[in-house]
Amino acid sequence: MLALVAATAAALAYAYTFTFSQFVPYDDEGYFTVTVQHLLDGHRLYDDVPVPYGPFFFLSRWLIYGTLRVPLVTDAVRLITIGHWLLCAALLAAVTYGLSHRRDGRLWLTTITFAAMTLQLSTAAQEPGHPQELAGLLIAVACLLATFVSPRQRGLACGLLGAAAGATLLVKINVGVFFAASSGPRSFVPWPRSESLWSGSRRTESRSTCVVRPATCAFFRSASCRRRS
């Protein structure tokens, strides 16, 4: 437990320092900040303000900056990014905790997962306010649901996973397509009552993952190359 607390403190310090020391030339942060400001000013997205991303992301920004009155400034945008980033890492660490059957090493595995995900997701700090951070959070929530929802609540689990997939499609369609393609086949396969959603999905989705994972990697690699050029 002490190691997990220390890892959390170190992750907070690392995320804050790293996020507030980054600025990339293409400035996605400025683009999304201006776009959200147009939304708050009453301009119509897709008609008055052309945007390539889905409405669910802008709904979440309207709730944060419009309803909750959080100031739309650089500090707030980056602090929210840190929140998304570390919450994703924490949820995936919780998934590891739920899937681990060894009580003696469960906390160590959870701590290692949290530290690894904190480092792996640090790319979010280069693009604060980007829809990808919300898409990542939705996928982490879906993983958590698949781990902890009781097998007897299969209808609830499938409904929540479907809602998460739909929301992801309405945030960033390419990520949503990959997410739906990997999780969708499980909804059409018989589900034994004694089997959890996650354990059944590992067998059912193994074939689809072999297709989806290389396609996902190829997409993000090509997007990264285009951005660097």
Question: How far is it, in rounded angstroms, from Cα 80 to Cα 68?
Answer: 13
> Is pLDDT of 210 > 50?
no
Tens of pLDDT, residues 74-93 = 999 999 999 999 999 999 99
Domain boundaries, given as residue ranges, for the chain: 2-174
pLDDT of residue 223: 47
Q: What is the 3-state secondary structure (H, E, C) of 172-190?
A: CHHHHHHHHHHHHHHHHCC
Structure-model confidence comparison of residues 160 and 217, the more confident one: 160
pTM of structure = 0.79
**Residue 39 confidence (pLDDT) above 70:** yes
Q: What are phi and psi of 51, to 5 degrees?
A: -135, 145
Q: Which residues contact 117 (CB under 8 A, 6 or more apart)?
A: 88, 89, 92, 93
